[in-house]
Amino acid sequence: MTTSSAFIGRQPILNRNQQLIGYELLFRANGEALEMGRHAELEADTQVLLNTLNNMGTQWLVGNKLAFLNVGETMLMSEFIELLPTRRVVLELSDKTTPSNELVSRIRHLRTLGFSFSLDDFQFGDPQLAFIEQASYVKLDAQQGLEAFQRVAARLKSYPVMRIAERVETYEQFQLARALGLDGFQGFFFAHPETLSAKVIHPTVSNILELLNLIRQAEPVGKLEAVLKRDIALSYKLLRYVNSAAAGLNTPISSFSHAVTVLGYQKLYRWLTLLLVTSGSEHTPPAAQKTAITRGRFMELMGQAAGQPHDTCDNLFVVGLFSLLDVLFDMPMMQVLEHVQISEAIRQALEHKQGLYGAYLELAVTCERHDLRNIEKLSLQLNLSAAEINQAHLTALAWVEELGL
């Protein structure tokens, strides 16, 4: 097995304040994952996982957050697992893991080395109950019946573990889990939420959109400067950014025209699109912003790997970044796009996932959902190998961590 058959996925795990505490990382081999499902024992691709994490570096991939890794018995018993950074990695056991004296002893040893353990999709009647004393985290399926969810959550209170609600897909499920006192949350509500209601775009966002339109129309610097002058927060952010980007210059940049000249229209457009995504509703889960930014970078890198022209790769970044604007502003995508001038190709991708950009967007979303059957089909359509997708996703994840958003 080689890295050409490995894919990566990442899903945020948040605490009660919706602050990121870690990510569940999923590495899978195409053929085997289609057969064995999410919790397959990672035999042939164990070395792929270990090599990827060690070569990329966990700090580079997840920053100062935790990395939750699904592991099978083969991987747990392997000596290679001890090469992983113990304080950054949480080893996650599925409800299908069969306890044995040898395995329990091995888990105890790994705990002495500094590893933490998580129990996935936990039920008190499952075999993984044998591991409860070694666990620091326990995940409960928010999609199970309400009575069962409440019963398991209440019973776990007597154990010294962090209780995490997983597969949280709606606001109501999140509120229920919070009311039950759960400590952490994971699911599409945070990483891929749905549109809930309509909201007017705030004035600062309007200024960002106006600047984006002016740049797209190649208007003179003076028109951009006029918009910047009427928005103190936007001006401050720009000057702070450009002086940071131009570190080493003898004189700080203090004029808007100089800032625009130093950055250039292309780089300024990229910065503004990032700023737009992070200027959503204060009620938007912060992970949604990261998801949008990661998606944009992921699509751009896939385009580069496929040999797409530079302009196409730039547009792929914008499509990925804008693909969650309906969520960030709580309004339909069609209504959001009325406020920004974009090409028809980008509009069709965002509204209908059509065209070349739409195909890349569909592949990026499919990777986030770990839908390997469709990943394989879409990657063939775009002439991308598993290795290229894996590399692009890893690089995108690390890039977003480096932004410090």
Which range among 125-134, 137-146, 177-186, 250-259 shows the weakest confidence by mean pLDDT?
250-259
Flag whether the pTM goes above 0.85: no
Q: What is the pLDDT of residue 399?
A: 79
Could you identify the residue written with the tokens 């690390």? 398
pLDDT range class, residue 390, cuts 50, 70, 90? confident
Residue that wins the pLDDT comparison between 362 and 336: 362
Q: What is the pLDDT of residue 285?
A: 55
pLDDT range class, residue 195, cuts 50, 70, 90? very low
pLDDT range class, residue 191, cuts 50, 70, 90? low
Q: What is the pLDDT of residue 61?
A: 52
Which range among 3-12, 285-294, 355-364 shows the weakest confidence by mean pLDDT?
3-12
Residue range 324-344: mean pLDDT, rounded: 75
pLDDT range class, residue 74, cuts 50, 70, 90? confident
Which range among 23-37, 60-74, 297-311 shows the weakest confidence by mean pLDDT?
23-37
Residue-wise pLDDT for 225-236, tens only, equals 878 766 656 765
Could you identify the residue written with the tokens 């573990």? 161
Residue range 254-263: mean pLDDT, rounded: 77
Q: What is the pLDDT of residue 362?
A: 94
Q: What is the pLDDT of residue 155?
A: 94
Residue-wise pLDDT for 146-164, tens only, equals 899 999 999 999 999 999 9
Q: What is the pLDDT of residue 98?
A: 87
SS3 assignment for the chain = CCHHHEEEEEEEEEECCCCEEEEEEEEEEHHHHHHHCCCCCCCCCHHHHHHHHHHHCHHHHHCCCEEEEEECHHHHHCHHHHHCCCCCEEEEECCCCCCCHHHHHHHHHHHHCCCEEEECCCCCCCHHHHHHHHCCEEEEECCCCHHHHHHHHHHHHHCCCEEEEECCCCHHHHHHHHHCCCCEECCHHHHCCCCCCCCCCCHHHHHHHHHHHHHHCCCCHHHHHHHHHCCHHHHHHHHHHHHHHCCCCCCCCCCHHHHHHHHHHHHHHHHHHHHHHCCCCCCCCHHHHHHHHHHHHHHHHHHHHCCCCHHHHHHHHHHHHHCCHHHHCCCCHHHHHCCCCCCHHHHHHHHHCCHHHHHHHHHHHHHHCCCHHHHHHHHHHCCCCHHHHHHHHHHHHHHHHHHCC
Residue-wise pLDDT for 78-99, tens only, equals 766 776 778 888 999 988 888 9
Q: In the chain, what are the domain boundaries?
A: 3-191, 200-280, 282-405
Residue range 12-25: mean pLDDT, rounded: 84
Q: Can you name the CATH fold of 3-191? A: TIM Barrel (3.20.20)
Q: What is the pLDDT of residue 275?
A: 73
